């Protein structure tokens, strides 16, 4: 591991807005009250990378709590440090494997989930790793409130098509969708937030896919 990564890993240990692995377990069912110190809604960004979406969502909506989740601490470092430097109190980061999400969040605890430019895991052998696969969707359904909303932004057309297929297989209602976000009428202050990777894709004229859906029932 390089010296820069080691430095970042050491520094996030001192950040009050970052919890790593088992340190997040005591907050299950109590994130708003015990971590953020309020009763505001909680929104997650999964595979948050450098945390640009998490931080910018928090800036736009100070009355909502945001938590970015990723396993790579050297990436989380950037978002967490920006939040501290800018005095953004309604944002935090959790370093865990997303497949373990049910260990950290209770039923009906989350208002929305964002998945922004995740690894598409294109190989057939890695389908179970895709963040919009059936087992992951079941986990999200459990922790989301009955009216909770899911969001996906991706440059990968194959992953987007796979996600739409999974949504349709479960007969889930789609609120909004487009295969070319920035040439659609859906763009607003939230959807125009751009991550580090998104800026790279757009620089190469890559289309951005977006879909918003929900789980119709909690049965």
Catalytic one of 119, 147, 180, 216: 119
End-to-end CA distance of the chain: 46
* CA 174 to each of CA 2, 72, 168, 191: distance values in angstroms, whole numbers, following the listed order: 44, 31, 9, 16
Active site residue 4: no
CB atoms within 10 A of CB 135: 9
136 close to 98: Cβ distance less than 8 angstroms: yes
> CA–CA separation, 68 vs 54, rounded Å?
6
Other Cβ atoms within 10 Å of 100 Cβ, number: 13
Which helix or strand (DSSP H or E) is residue 204 part of?
A: none
- Active-site residue numbers? 119
């Amino acid at each position: 591991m390089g010296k820069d990564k080691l430095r970042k890993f050491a520094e996030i240990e001192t950040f009050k807005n970052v919890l790593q692995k088992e340190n997040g377990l005591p907050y299950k069912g109590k994130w708003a009250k015990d971590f953020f110190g309020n009763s505001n809604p909680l929104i997650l960004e999964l595979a948050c990378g450098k945390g640009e979406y998490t931080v910018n969502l928090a800036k736009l909506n100070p009355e909502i709590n945001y938590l970015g989740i990723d396993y790579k601490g050297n990436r989380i470092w950037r978002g967490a440090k920006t939040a501290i430097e800018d005095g953004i109190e309604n944002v935090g980061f959790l370093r865990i494997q997303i497949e373990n999400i049910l260990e950290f969040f209770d039923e009906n605890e989350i208002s929305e989930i964002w998945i922004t430019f995740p690894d598409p895991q294109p190989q057939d052998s890695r389908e179970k790793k895709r963040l919009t696969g059936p087992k992951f969707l079941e986990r999200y359904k459990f922790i989301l409130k009955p009216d909770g909303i899911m969001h996906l932004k991706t440059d990968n057309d194959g992953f987007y098509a796979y996600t739409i297929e999974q949504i349709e297989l479960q007969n889930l209602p789609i609120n909004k969708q487009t295969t070319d976000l920035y040439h659609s009428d859906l763009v607003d202050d939230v959807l125009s937030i751009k991550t580090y990777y998104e800026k790279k894709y757009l620089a190469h004229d890559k289309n951005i896919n977006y879909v918003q859906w929900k789980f119709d029932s909690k049965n």
